[in-house]
Structure 1
Amino acid sequence: MSFAEEVKNEAAHIPVEDAACRTAELAALLCMGGSLLPGSDGCAGLEFSTSNNAVARKALSMWRHSFSIRPEVLVRRGRRLRKKNYYILRIPPAVESTAALRSLTLFPAEEAFQGLELRRDDCRRSFLRGAFMGGGSVNQPQGDYHLELMTGNKEFARLLLKLMHHFHLSAKMTDRKGDYLVYVKEGNGVSSFLQQIGAVQAYLKFESVRVVKDMRNNVNRVVNCETANLQKTVNAAVRQTADIERIRDSGRYHLLSPRLQEAAELRLAHPEATMGEIAALSGITKSGLSHRFKKIATIAKEIEGMEHHEITNTQ
């Protein structure tokens, strides 16, 4: 079972006793996972489909709690490789169905949600919970942080974005091939969303994996940083030793000043030491020692240039 399915299963078992919250949750759930069925004389029905059994039972339970008209319940076998069952709730077009959809503010479609009671935070949370159950997804916490709600209704997507911003979630909205996507791509935002919709167990699992993941990433960053610093130390030591050896081989080592010779002798005596360690041995600052090695490097380069010039002249 995917993490998204776990979240939906938990959300589907959260009881909703308040009538306004139940209306908000059912409206978002049916809008996200359903479609209106046009009928004669301006009547309308609705067909809701989901592959999650718990979500289907929650939708049916809330509908029966709110309305007397009974939906048709169908189960269809999926045609794709996984062959999931799809649970379908069908409310045929009728006068009673139309009245129910009007009370949920789902009909007419162009006026959807305009009369919905979303002034209280608990109703807003119920609305977001219903939307996620109907068409939300969230990545496994071990992977990249990503949560999204996809709908073909632009105004519905804008309302979802507004509610998520109300709870200070870093959500954004974009369109994808005619659908509208409201998404969060940041760990704190995903974690907070799970809290807001009441998925406590999913939130705890997400945070547990996230803590371990962040700790592992921090350890890797520290190791990489230390490895890079070690490589820099080794490269500097090799380069400085090569400069000193070039000066020695040229027979000009005795021409170095006492300070430069002191630095050179310390480097040759401690080839694996860092600049800080050699500076401590010499009793000067790192910047002062670095300045001495720069002078040694300049002299070595001059010698290399002279040797190259001499070789060219003899050819």
Structure 2
Amino acid sequence: MKSISETMWDEWVFSPVSSTNADSEVAGVLWGLMPASPEFLTKERLVILSGRRLWVFRRLRRIWSHSRWGQRVELPTILNVPASFKGNVTLSIPQTLIAEVVVWGENAKRKNDWAWLRGVWGNCGSLYVPKSGYYLAFRFRFYRLMDMVLSLLKNNHFPMGKRMVDEQYELLLRDQEKIVTLLSNFKLFDTSLKLEEKAIVRAMRDRANRLVNCDASNIRKTLEAAEWQLEIAKVFQNEKVWATLPEPLKELIETRMQYPSATLTELGQLLSKPVSKSTVKYRWQKLKEMAEQLPHGI
């Protein structure tokens, strides 16, 4: 069975291509591939972009021809994939084209361009579902892209945390409902549904565990209470002491001796004149105080 992360990337790669959003998504992918250093221009005035995530280039191949830039440059002529499929895949893109992509990205925040952010997600995003909690993260090579993404997300009320990890900028989202909403904005509906299903299963499992722990705790407390009540009952086995006890207290002791594992509620209902749990508790407290005053008390 596929993990949620595998489902997500398969859906990201093979989602239907929209000619309306192709420009934005291509621009987002290229922004995510840009290096941290501005010195990446060759003598032929080509910008070299690179990345290790092969699925990003599979998606780029699907959407490139639908974008305005695909009509001017054929992707195979600028794409270089290592023969071993290991290491960086590179794109050698004309500087003029990159300049247009940069402007497109600068406008993404103002336009709430989710298609652009979906493209950035391909290179910079990760989803983690450990045994507890949910983590959606973006990691960026340079501050400018991090700031653009952070502004877009904050403008749409996504509570992002920010920190440095391995000399990269990281944005972190931990709210499960917000994560589902963001994935839906990326048109990753199957992933969103699978994440919600997992959240429901987790909630049911956690509730079941709490109930089991609660039951176990209640059983332990019942047995501990019964144990000290039996100790008190033994103190009153002396006939002289026994004769001084009121009948309701005698009956309570006899019932406890007969039903050593009964709860206080059950004990109260077993008496000839049933009483509440609080009354049973009060009577045992009274017996305890009386036993402590005896010469050979508890």
TM-score (normalised: structure 1)? 0.77
Aligned equivalent of 2:97: 100
Alignment length (residue pairs): 287
Aligned residue number for residue 24 of structure 1: 24
Task: Write the distance in 2 (CA, Å) between the matches of 1:89 and 1:153.
Answer: 18
Deviation at 1:33, TM superposition (A): 3.1
Who is 2:176 aligned against?
A: 187
Give the counterpart of 1:299 among 271, 290, 294.
Answer: 290
Partner residue in 2 for 1:174: 163
Q: Which runs of 5+ in 1 are unaligned?
A: 79-83, 107-111, 309-315
Aligned partners of 2:33 and 2:42: how far apart in 1?
23
- Cα deviations across residues 163-213 of structure 1 (Å, max 9, x unaligned)? 334444443222223211112223323322221211122222223333223
CA distance in 2, matches of 1:234, 1:182: 51
- SS of the counterpart of 1:48? strand
For residue 224 of structure 2, the aligned residue among 211, 216, 235 is: 235
Rounded Cα–Cα distance in structure 2 between residues aligned with 1:273 and 1:286: 12
Q: 1: distance between equivalents of 2:99 and 2:190?
A: 35
Check if 1:248 corresponds to 2:237: yes
CA contact (8 A) 2:140 2:170 kept: yes
Residue type of the alignment partner of 1:76:
P
**SS at 2:18 equivalent:** coil
Residues 31 and 102, structure 2, Cα contact 8 Å, conserved in 1 = no
Unmatched runs of 5 consecutive residues or more in structure 2: none
| 1:192-271 superposed matches below 5 A | 192-248=181-237, 252-271=241-260
Note if contact 1:77-1:86 (Cα within 8 Å) is conserved in structure 2: no
Report what 2:263 is aligned to.
Answer: 274
Instruction: Letter of the 2:213 partner, please give it.
Output: N
* 8 Å Cα contact 2:135/2:174 also seen in 1: yes
Q: Deviation per CA, 1:141-168, whole angstroms, max 9, x where unpaired?
A: 7664222111122342233233334444
Does residue 9 (structure 1) correspond to residue 10 (structure 2)? The answer is yes
* Cα shift at 1:43: 5.1
Query: Does residue 275 of structure 2 align to residue 287 of structure 1?
Result: no
Task: Tell me which residue corresponds to 1:48.
Answer: 50
Q: Encode CA deviations 1:263-308: one digit per residue, 9 max, x unaligned.
A: 22232232222111223344333222211111222233344xx449
Scaled by the length of structure 2, the TM-score of the pair is 0.81
Match of 1:39 in 2: 41
Q: For the residues of structure 1 that align with 2:88 and 2:164, how far apart are their CA atoms?
A: 27
Contact 2:233 2:253 in 1 (8 A): yes
Q: Supply the distance in 1 between the matched residues of 2:43 and 2:88 (Cα, whole angstroms).
A: 29
Letter in 2 for 1:31: W
User: 2:278 & 2:131 partners in 1: Cα distance?
Assistant: 45
Whichever residue aligns with residue 99 of structure 2, its letter is: R
Q: Deviations over 1:25-79 (max 9, x none)?
A: 23332222332553378956131313333x203224544533224553222378x
Alpha-carbon distance in structure 1 between the residues aligned to 2:33 and 2:242: 83
RMSD: 3.2
Q: 1:23 to 1:250 in 2, by over 3 A?
A: farther
